[in-house]
Amino acid sequence: MAVQDEDLTEKVMELQRREYAFLSRFAQREREMRKLGQECAEAFHAFDDSRKDSLKGALVDPAVNLEIGLMRQRLRIKDQEIAQVREELQNAQYQPNSMQGKKLLDKCNHLQEENAEIARQLSEEKLQVLRIQLCAERRKRLQLRQRIAQLDQYAEKVDEENDKMTKKFTDLGQSLKETRAEVERYKKEIEEMKSGKKRKDAAAKAAQETPEVPAEEVPPEQAKRRKKDKILKEAVQSPPPPAVPEPVAEAAETAEDEAERKRRKKEKKEKKKEKVKKG
């Protein structure tokens, strides 16, 4: 059944194609017949003359008849052109009180209104774009100003911190110098005490061997000497002073360089601020 249905479908399609081919040929023949009929009518009307019955005896030569027919056809064409030109001339003459003049005025007014509306729309579009760009630039400028203000505040804080650090480094350097001077002094005293240690020990031994004299019988000079020897002995036996840490020493040495760098950086920031304000 499926094969039979396919065969029938193919036959129907083939018959439809043939029908379409015949219809196209028939339409083509009809167009050709219509064209030939138009040519015959044009030829017939070209040689048609209302007065040919009266001129049958006069115009015997067919060539003369053909020439006269062509001339009359040209005359008709020229008459049509003259009538068209007259109509255009009449339309071209402007009369405001006439109907055509009023229509022309209304049309001109309408065109002027359209032109004004189009110009306004175009100008509004351009102005709208410029307004949007201006608003964007203003927002950007405001953001930049806020950012500059924040950076200025941050720079001021950094400068204050730098000043504090510089002052701290200066104080540390001064304290380091004082500590070093004190250490050197202690070293000298220790060396002096070490050099006179034997003499002090001998004096102490001699003092121990000598009988103790009552305080009332000891002369004041000897009492002062004993007191001084006792102080020197305690200084020798006391522990050495604590060493100064190296990081503090390095920080004190670089304090002046750091202060100079901060000062230069501050000058650069001030120059940048001036440029931004001028811009």
Q: Name the domain boundary from 33, 59, 93.
A: 93
pLDDT at 35: 85
Q: How far apart are CA 74 and CA 68, in angstroms?
A: 10
Note whether residue 134 is domain-resident.
no
More confident residue, 132 or 279: 132
Note whether residue 135 is domain-resident.
no
55 has pLDDT over 60: no
Note the helical H segments in 94-245. 99-195, 197-209, 220-237
Q: Name the domain boundary from 93, 111, 127.
A: 93
- Please give the residue range of the domain that contains residue 229: 144-206+221-278
213 has pLDDT over 70: no
Mean pLDDT for the stretch of residues 103-107:
80
Note whether residue 119 is domain-resident.
no
Mean pLDDT for the stretch of residues 74-102:
77
Mean pLDDT for the stretch of residues 80-91:
80
Please tell me whether residues 188 and 271 are part of one structural domain. yes
More confident residue, 158 or 21: 158
Please tell me whether residues 250 and 155 are part of one structural domain. yes
Q: How far is CA 275 from the centre of its chain?
A: 22
Share of the chain above pLDDT 90, in %: 5
pLDDT in tens, 264-275: 777 777 777 777
Please tell me whether residues 10 and 75 are part of one structural domain. yes
Note whether residue 198 is domain-resident.
yes
Note whether residue 123 is domain-resident.
no
Note whether residue 214 is domain-resident.
no
Note whether residue 265 is domain-resident.
yes
Please tell me whether residues 59 and 160 are part of one structural domain. no
Number of domains the chain contains: 2
- Give which of 250, 262, 263 is closest to 172, Cα–Cα: 250
Mean pLDDT for the stretch of residues 85-104:
71
201's tokens:
């020990």
63 has pLDDT over 70: yes
15 has pLDDT over 70: yes
- Give which of 176, 170, 174 is closest to 259, Cα–Cα: 170
262 has pLDDT over 80: no
Q: How far apart are CA 42 and CA 31, in angstroms?
A: 16
Please tell me whether residues 272 and 150 are part of one structural domain. yes
- Average pLDDT across the chain, whole number: 74
pLDDT band of residue 245 (cuts 50, 70, 90) is very low
Q: Name the domain boundary from 31, 58, 93.
A: 93
Q: How far is CA 125 from the centre of its chain?
A: 22
pLDDT at 95: 63
- Give which of 175, 164, 158 is closest to 252, Cα–Cα: 175
- Give which of 156, 148, 154 is closest to 274, Cα–Cα: 148
More confident residue, 133 or 259: 133
Note whether residue 7 is domain-resident.
yes
pLDDT band of residue 210 (cuts 50, 70, 90) is low
246 has pLDDT over 60: no
